[in-house]
């Protein structure tokens, strides 16, 4: 056993990082219930909200507030109790502490004081949303809440424009439409995405589509509740280059086909219409390329 591990066990104090339900109150583990019942103190983001959860499971452990605006004062107090041998659980209003919620500063301070820290895992909005989004999950990055101001938000998204991994964001319902529109601008309207609303709650729903479609949809019908946005990563550059090469080759083949049809007696517009119908390419695109090809040939003469 390492020297640090020996020091951690000497005092007996333990900090438990306990995940709580993100919506459905039944999404709490037996491990979490037992831990909350056995510790000396529970540090809560909101004592009233945690009190409801504790009452549901007949837990009467004392609680103390621990949130963003009292961390400077509260963290040293809690660490002193841990060093004295207390077992303390930290919880937030929903999900896992320190994941876009208070908790990181207490965890770091406890570790620096050689206090043992134990995770009691549970529901996670990030993982739950990923599992049902229908977007690749083998590699992903959690980006949390992006900046709310337009300029800062645009800068943050521009930095992620070439990110190849699936990206997961949290967002407030009132900002979803604006955020999706900014993502469509930064990543392209055709990028696949999913918006998961009210996950694990009664009115949970998942809306999938392109960023452009989703931006328009939520501009027309505002979102409600807790929101997770999952966005596909940027396409592989080498694949995109290969696709571009294939498109160039296809256009060359189209020119050859047009030439054959014209030799058979069809006019340029008629030949373009035939090619468009056979390939699904827009007739105007085929016609304009044919005109360009003819102009290129004339300039070579």
Number of compact structural domains in the chain: 3
Is 42 found in the same domain as 108? yes
Is 74 found in the same domain as 158? no
Structural domain boundaries, residue 138:
126-231
Is 227 found in the same domain as 275? no
Flag whether pLDDT at 245 surpasses 70.
Answer: no
Phi, psi angle pair for 193, to nearest 5°: -155, 170
For residue range 62-84, list pLDDT tens digits in order. 999 999 889 889 999 999 999 99
Confirm if 47 and 61 have CB atoms less than 8 A apart: no
Is 131 found in the same domain as 48? no
Is 94 found in the same domain as 35? yes
Is 36 found in the same domain as 95? yes
For residue range 120-170, list pLDDT tens digits in order. 999 999 999 999 999 999 999 999 999 999 999 999 999 999 999 999 999
**pTM score, two decimals?**
0.73
Is 148 found in the same domain as 78? no
Sheet containing strand 63-65, strands side by side: 63-65, 41-44, 87-91, 14-18, 116-120
């Amino acid at each position: 056993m390492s020297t640090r591990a020996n020091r951690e066990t000497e005092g007996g104090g333990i900090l438990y990082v306990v995940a709580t339900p993100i919506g459905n109150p039944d999404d709490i583990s037996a491990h979490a219930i037992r831990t909350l019942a056995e510790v000396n103190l529970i540090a809560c983001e909101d004592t009233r909200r945690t009190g409801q959860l504790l009452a549901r499971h007949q837990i009467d452990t004392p609680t103390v507030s621990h949130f963003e605006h009292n961390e400077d004062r509260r963290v040293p107090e809690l660490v002193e109790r841990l060093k004295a041998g207390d077992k303390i659980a930290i919880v937030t209003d929903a999900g896992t502490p320190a994941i876009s919620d208070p908790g990181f500063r207490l965890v770091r301070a406890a570790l620096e004081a050689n206090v043992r820290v134990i995770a009691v895992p549970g529901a996670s909005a990030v993982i739950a949303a990923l599992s049902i989004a229908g977007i690749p999950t083998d590699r992903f990055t959690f980006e949390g809440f992006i900046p709310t101001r337009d300029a800062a938000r645009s800068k943050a998204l521009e930095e992620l424009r070439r990110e190849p991994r699936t990206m997961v964001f949290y967002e407030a319902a009132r900002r979803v439409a604006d955020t999706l529109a900014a993502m469509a601008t930064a990543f392209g309207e055709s990028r696949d995405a999913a918006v998961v609303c009210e996950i694990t709650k009664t009115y949970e729903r998942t809306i999938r589509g392109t960023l452009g479609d989703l931006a328009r949809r939520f501009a027309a019908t505002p979102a409600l509740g807790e929101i997770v946005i999952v966005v596909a990563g940027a396409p592989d550059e080498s694949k995109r280059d290969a696709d571009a090469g294939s498109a160039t080759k296809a256009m060359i083949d189209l020119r050859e086909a047009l030439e054959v049809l014209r030799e058979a007696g069809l006019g340029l517009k008629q030949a373009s219409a035939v090619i468009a119908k056979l390939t699904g390419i827009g007739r105007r695109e085929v016609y304009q390329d044919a005109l360009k090809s003819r102009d290129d040939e004339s300039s070579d003469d």
